[in-house]
Amino acid sequence: MESNAGRKVLLIDDEETLLKNIGDFLKVMGYSVFTSSNSTDGLELLRNHSPDLLLLDLHLKEGLTGMQVLKAAKMLKPDLKVIVLSGFGEEEDTKNSCISLGASAFLGKPTSLKSLSETIKNLLEAK
């Protein structure tokens, strides 16, 4: 089984509890984790740390929308794997838009940690 050491994950979500819980879970899995509760700081972390994976909330309270962050992130790092998270039972059109903008996967919130870890593993091992 491949080690996750050295793999970096950036999590951008305005829900502090989710940031902490998923961040802690990913750290236990061996990832280096960077978290941000807003788009501005999140994109700065992306520039400074060049993560392998971005977990991105679609609905951020301030700054850019999740879609705008997705576009900016893919311009900064075209090979970045992005998992979009959304708690609003999005329409198929929204999912398709995210995928067409470069998202690798789309997960509804709440998502199980098992489902999240399997999605991350599949994306990062697909390199």
Q: Measured between alpha carbons, how far is 85 from 36 in angstroms, rounded to an integer?
A: 14
- Domain-by-domain residue ranges, the chain? 8-125
Nearest 5°: phi and psi at 106?
A: -135, 120
| Residue 56: strand, helix, or coil | strand
Question: 40 and 48 in contact (C-beta within 8 Å)?
Answer: no
Q: So what's the architecture of 8-125 in CATH?
A: 3-Layer(aba) Sandwich (3.40)
With 0.75 as the threshold, say if the pTM is over it.
Answer: yes
Give 35's Cβ-side CA count (13 Å radius). 17
What's the pLDDT at 47?
A: 97
For the segment 32-69, what is each residue's pLDDT rounded down to a tens digit? 999 999 999 999 999 999 999 999 999 898 899 999 99
pLDDT at residue 10 greater than cutoff 90:
yes
- pLDDT confidence band for 90 (50 / 70 / 90): low
Beta strands in 1-127 (DSSP E): 8-12, 32-36, 53-57, 81-86, 105-108
Alpha carbon 2 to chain centroid, angstroms: 21
pLDDT at residue 125 greater than cutoff 90:
no
- pLDDT confidence band for 77 (50 / 70 / 90): very high
